[in-house]
Amino acid sequence: MAYALVTVTSATLFVDAQALTPDVLAHFGSHIEAYAASVPKDTASILVDPAQCNVAVFSAIPPALRKEAPSIVLRHKAIKNPVEIQGMKSAHIRDGAAQVRFFHWLQEAVTSGQVITEVSADKKQQQFRRQMVLKKS
């Protein structure tokens, strides 16, 4: 597990250096620190998303330096390009078709007196999802 502290002028990776290969250590050099080793003294504020940050890291940031706000990274990841949007639409259509097949099977199975458990229903639902053909275009 690693964390990054990104400022306007630098980026520091907080990670267990023993878990890194010599090549990675050589590449990043002085930009690697032990977990939350220190907070830069010249820092005006540190943006932190309490919903995404673990308690240990959150607590290591002095309250006077903490600026709590939703992650700007998550906001940007939520913006989808046309290819991603089309992929999502296709996935929803395939999943919807699989769900219709599953519900039809479930209704028929219950009507015919079959005993359906949560596990057997899940397996059948996954089977219908696997049957959906992925089209690459």
Check whether residue 10 and residue 62 sit in a common domain.
yes
Give CA separation, 96 vs 20, 109, 118, in Å: 44, 20, 20
The 10s digit of each residue's pLDDT in 30-85 is 677 665 555 556 667 888 899 988 888 888 888 888 999 998 888 888 899 999 99
Name residue, tokens 């219950």.
Answer: 110
| pTM passes above 0.85 | no
Check whether residue 65 and residue 95 sit in a common domain.
no
Check whether residue 31 and residue 92 sit in a common domain.
no
The 10s digit of each residue's pLDDT in 104-124 is 999 999 999 999 999 999 999
Q: What is the number of structural domains in the chain? A: 2
Structural domain containing residue 15: 3-77
Tell me whether residue 135 is in a domain. no
Counting beta carbons within 10 angstroms of the beta carbon of residue 53, is it exposed (0 to 12), middle (13 to 18) or buried (19 or more)?
A: middle
Residue 106 neighbours by CB under 8 Å, 6+ apart: 116, 121, 124
DSSP 8-state code for residue 19: G
